Structure 1
Amino acid sequence: MTSMGKTRRMMAAGLSGLALALALTAPAHGTPGATEQRAAGQGATEQGAADAAWRGLGWQLAQTGTDARFRGLAAVDRATAWAAGSKGTVLRTTDGGRSWRNVSPPGAGELELRDVEAFDSRRAVVLAIGEGEASRVLRTDDGGATWTESFRNTDPRAFYDCMTFFDQRHGLAMSDPVDGKYRILSTRDGGRSWAVLPNEGMPAALPGEAGFAASGQCLVSAGERDVWLATGGGATARVLHSRDRGLTWTVAHATIPAGDPARGVFGLAFRDRAHGIAVGGDYRADQPSPHAAAVTGDGGRRWTAASAPPPAYRSGVAWLPYSRTAALAVGPTGTDLTTDGGRTWRTVDTGSYDTVDCTRDGACWASGEKGRIARLGAR
């Protein structure tokens, strides 16, 4: 396909300027097994395209009518996205972010909603976090007009942090360690019912280790069976990986510093089964985060520190559509862009966001404190 033909096709799909620029530099027939040398050469081209495109782009804030903090975000396509946050608040857009409708579950005002997974404009699952019965899962099949509680935690030792779905039926949620191991909850019917998985294949947790319910990205999946779990708080930050939907796990040490309850890996993003990015640091505003990002090219068996990481703590990360090497990371002090697969980052925005998500058809959203939800668009 010629460059001009590809341009017309992408513009017809309504892609953002940045995704379009990156798409034009991507190979016409890329595969997940592309060599690092090829990725490096492409990355140099993408960096120039991304820099040029970003000068005309930025986060466009929406009027949400709430001061809730939205740490949960699910981008479905360029028209539809869901956000879940404090005070039991759920918002939904079906017009590309121009307007957001409050579709919060009735009576959920005391719940802290930290994750949302959406399948389309009508079906979504939200996770409430907290000790004991504060951890719950609710599902809607009618765009938020009605909600059904499908899980309520009755174990006072459990504290659920994140969830992920492999497809429209199979998903997992994770709790901080119970009896020395992370607890995994599984659904096979799209979140309508849940069951705790056996923990024989789960490695022991480190003393003080836990997950961070900061962005809905401490548990992420890629493909039909692979899932990764991010940790912090222990002596070292770790990333656990399962190839069988949470039954058995391997563990790898990440390069992001831990050793304190406020430090570790806060967010993960995998663009396929091999290539992933981890972000985190120390969430305390008065503490530095000098090694806030790491990358893997082998499914999480080994992690390498970013040579030029984000300058501060970051809680959310997402791969940009139509690019094999570009991604965004967000946190309370700004947004950073990488065009070389996470090895180097540069700050492109100083607004506060907790999480970020992009769609396959070229739209990106971010959300955070004080009702902030934004879509990437022309300045």
Structure 2
Amino acid sequence: MKKYLFSILFANIIVSCSVFNSERLSFTTVKIDNLLSEAISSRALTIEENKVWYAGNNGKYGYVTLDGTPSFSEVLKKEELKLEFRSIAQTSDAVFILTVANPALLYKIDKKTKEVSLVYQEVNEKVFYDSMQFLNDKEGFAIGDPTENCPSFIKTVDGGQTWQKVSCDNLPKFESGEAFFAASNTNLIVKQKRMFMVSGGKKSRVLVSEDKGQSWKVYDTPLVQGEAMTGAFCADFYNENVGIIAGGNYQKPEQNFQNKAITKDGGKTWQLVSENEGFGYVSCVQFVPGTQGKSIVEVGANGLFYSNNLGKNWKQLLPDKDFLTLRFIDGKAAVATGKNRIVKLTFE
């Protein structure tokens, strides 16, 4: 009898925990709090405690705060160039923003003094940088479309003071029409020992490095590809093994097949999920922190969608089509930006 009662008690505990976890992971609504309303197109943001740093078109950059304390905004100008920033990353003492198109200009912004310095410049009619990440306070990386027959890949080992472009001799070759998309600063993902680059266009693949970019392995994806605006536009990894890639056909935003896939083995193999269901073209996808990789949120041409079963099913939580990228603050709140606004999203 004691064993029987203990078994019942133990089973009730397990059921209670399961119900709690299920409820915790199941969002049904989203509250929107406006942080910034301004004429800006932004695809780049990074969160530093109470501050949300952003960068966008027309040379605009700055930060908004989550608690209502004063924000900061500025405009970078260089000659007659129209600067557009789509990549942003940070160390403990600086924020880095990188332009797309020719010339590529990478700026370092001191968090304390707000002093701005140009730390890398590249002139090439084909140059186009898409994503940037730091592994730690010393090592950072940025990737871009090919100027030769391989992806552009620059790195720093001194905290962003200097950057060097890696030779194509040490990088995998890109196929004709293969490139990256500067959709949401998520083509490059760094997770512990592994680094992932996701490509699209006429070929959509995942490039994986386990030695900080010194060597690479390349894996095909099952996403739609073969045209200039198809393939993987964004990615996220919950850990070194579990990840998601998404995108689709930019010119057919309602097309919701071959546009989202999951890996559980660090990018080696990919399985399509929710074929002909859920969203179509997507610009950003992110795992919800603290959910064991089960919960995912995306923003794109069909609004904001949410899954709590690793992408098998999706539910639209917002119809807004103006969000281009988002990052989570914690397991229930995120910041999103896109066309003319930055907002805090609270999931309930």
Fold equivalence (TM over 0.5) = yes
Residue matched to 1:58: 31
For 1:168 and 1:283, the matched residues in 2 are separated by 35
- Tell me, yes or no, if the aligned pair for 1:335 and 1:350 is still in contact at 8 Å: yes
Per the alignment, residue 265 of structure 2 pairs with 298
Q: Give ranges in structure 2 of 5+ residues lacking alignment.
A: 1-14
Where does 1:230-241 land on structure 2 (aligned, <5 Å)?
Answer: 230-234=198-202, 236-241=203-208
Structure 1 residues not aligned, in runs of 5+: 1-24, 28-41
The answer to whether residue 120 in structure 2 is matched with residue 151 in structure 1 is yes
In structure 1, how many angstroms separate the alpha carbons of the residues matched to 2:205 and 2:127? 20
5 Å-filtered alignment, 1:308-319, equals 310-319=278-287
Q: 1:113 aligns with which of 71, 74, 85?
A: 85
Which secondary structure does the structure 2 equivalent of 1:150 belong to? strand
- Which of residues 354, 360, 368 in structure 1 aligns to 2:338? 368
Please say if residues 317 and 357 of structure 1, whose CA atoms lie closer than 8 Å, have aligned partners that are also in contact.
no
Equivalences for residues 104-253 of structure 1 within 5 A: 104-107=75-78, 110-120=82-92, 123-131=94-102, 133=103, 135-142=104-111, 145-223=114-192, 225-234=193-202, 236-253=203-220
Q: Work out the CA distance in 2 between the residues paired with 1:211 and 1:166.
A: 20
Indicate the residue corresponding to 1:345 in structure 2.
Answer: 314
Partner residue of 2:305?
336
Aligned-pair distance for 1:96? Answer: 4.2
Q: Which residue of 1 is the match for residue 236 of structure 2?
A: 269
1:313 partner letter: Y
> 2 CA distance for matches of 1:191 and 1:96?
29
1:93 pairs, out of 64, 86, 96, with 64
Check conservation: 2:35, 2:66, Cα contact below 8 A.
no
* 8 Å CA contact 1:103, 1:143 repeated in 2: no
Matched, 1:72 2:40: no
Cα distance, 1:321 vs structure 2: 1.8
Give the counterpart letter for 2:328 in structure 1.
C
Counterpart CA distance in 2 for 1:360 and 1:188 is: 29
SS in 1 for 2:181: coil
Q: Residue deviations 1:132-152, cap 9 Å, x none?
A: x1x111111135732111001
Measured after TM superposition, the shift of residue 373 of structure 1 is 1.1
Instruction: Quickly say closer, same or farther: Cα 1:74–1:253, change in 2 above 3 A.
Output: same
CA contact (8 A) 1:71 1:355 kept: yes
Cα distance between partner residues in 2 of 1:378 and 1:226 = 30
Structure-2 separation of matches of 1:110 and 1:148: 18
Shift of 1:196: 1.2
Checking the alignment, whether the CA contact within 8 Å between 1:72 and 1:83 is kept in structure 2 is yes
Aligned length: 330
Q: For 2:331 and 2:165, locate their aligned partners in 1 and report how far apart those are by CA, in whole Å.
A: 35
Judging changes above 3 Å, is the alpha-carbon distance between structure 1 residues 273 and 286 closer, same or farther for their aligned structure 2 residues? closer
CA gap 1:266/1:115 in 2 versus in 1, 3 angstroms = same
Q: Which residue of 2 aligns with 1:102?
A: 73
- What are the Cα deviations for residues 147-196 of structure 1, in whole angstroms up to 9, with x where unaligned? 11100112333322111111121111112123211121011122221011
Deviations 1:342-365 (A, max 9, x none): 333221111121111113576411
Between the aligned residues of both structures, percent identity stands at: 24
Task: Deviation per CA, 1:32-76: give whole Å up to 9, x if none.
Answer: xxxxxxxxxx7x97554443x433x33323333x21111011123
8 Å CA contact 1:72–1:115 kept in 2: the answer is yes
| 1:257 alignment partner in structure 2 | 224
Structure 1 residues 96 and 270, CA gap change in structure 2 (3 angstroms): farther
Check 1:285–1:47 CA distance in 2 against 1; reply closer, same or farther (3 A cut): farther
Could you tell me how far 1:98 is from its partner in structure 2?
7.2
Higher strand share: 2
Q: Using a 3 Å threshold, how does the CA distance of structure 1 residues 184 and 378 change in structure 2: closer, same or farther?
A: closer
Structure exhibiting the larger radius of gyration computed from Cα positions: 2
State which drifts further: 135-144 or 255-264: 135-144
Equivalent-residue separation in structure 1 for 2:70 and 2:282 (angstroms): 27
Check whether the contact 1:198–1:247 (CA below 8 A) recurs between aligned residues: no
